[in-house]
Amino acid sequence: MKEKILNRATDLFLNLGFKSVTMDDIAQEMGISKKTIYSHFPNKTKLIEQCTAQVQCDISEGIDEIVSHQKNPIEELYEIKRFVMMHLKNEKKSPGYQLQKYYPEIYKTLNAKQFEVMHRCIVDNIERGLAMGIYRDNLNIQFVSRIYFSGVSTIKDDSLFPTSLFSKVEVFDYYLEYHLRGIVTPKGRQILNTIINSNQE
């Protein structure tokens, strides 16, 4: 039952927001009593902690699986983007913003873990891209990996990138192309253009 509550609560939080969803909502959605939920999670904050930790773990494992295939680094970034977007269900109500505003300690912990995972992934991606000659050899790897993380974090901000102007998928696509065009060699640009053109067909 604990796992069922965790999975359903996570789905609701990602679709409707961490502040918006109440324990009553979860109980009603599952057809169980709040007492049942509280028997597994002492309060909403603990439930959110475990939900976000589970999402982070699932995403981290999924990224590690993608990286383990040692694909072309440009293809790899698009594969990771697709996986993350599918996993987060497009974050319809910007749950990350609500998490930051109403549960700042959880957000801080989650953000640190996200940076650790993404930084490791991007550094590895850049190093392989350099070795293959598809990324420019004058890149500062530490700078590029950090600016990439900063950008991914910023494009989730609805006040800067409102859904009335961009869908979540669009804004991630635009950002990934923006990032890659800044670091690829002519050889890498050919690969990037092929991927973009195939995605538009």
SS3 readout for the chain: CHHHHHHHHHHHHHHHCCCCCCHHHHHHHHCCCHHHHHHHCCCHHHHHHHHHHHHHHHHHHHHHHHHHCCCCHHHHHHHHHHHHHHHHHHHCCCHHHHHHHHCHHHHHHHHHHHHHHHHHHHHHHHHHHHHHCCECCCCCHHHHHHHHHHHHHHCCCCCCCCCCCCCHHHHHHHHHHHHHHCCECHHHHHHHHHHHHHHHC
Number of domains within the chain:
1
Q: What is the pLDDT of residue 84?
A: 85
pLDDT recorded at residue 149: 95
**CATH code of the domain in which 93 resides:** 1.10.357.10
Q: Residue 49's pLDDT is what?
A: 96
- 178 in a structural domain: yes
Confirm whether 114 is domain-assigned. Answer: yes
Q: What is the pTM of this model?
A: 0.85
Let me know if residue 63 belongs to a domain. yes
Give the pLDDT of residue 78. 95
**Residue 22 counted as domain residue:** no
| pLDDT, position 168 | 82
- Residue at 28 is within a domain: no
Is residue 121 included in any domain, yes or no? yes
**pLDDT reported for residue 88:** 67
Give me the residues of the chain with pLDDT under 50, please: 90
Q: What is the pLDDT at residue 139?
A: 97
Tens of pLDDT, residue by residue over 142-161, are 999 999 999 998 888 888 88
Q: Are 184 and 134 in contact (CB under 8 A)?
A: yes
Q: How many CB atoms lie within 10 A of CB 96?
A: 22
pLDDT confidence of residue 96: 75
Instruction: Find the length of the chain.
Output: 201
pLDDT score at 201? 60
Return the residue matching tokens 């995605």.
Answer: 199
Domain carrying residue 148: 48-200
| Whether the Cβ atoms of residue 146 and residue 88 lie closer than 8 Å to each other | no
pLDDT of the residue at 122: 96
Which pLDDT score is estimated for 16?
86
The count of C-alpha atoms lying within 13 angstroms of the C-alpha of 62, restricted to the half-sphere facing its C-beta, is 17
Cα distances (Å, whole numbers) of residue 62 to 16, 40, 113: 24, 27, 15
Instruction: Report if residue 78 sits inside a domain.
Output: yes
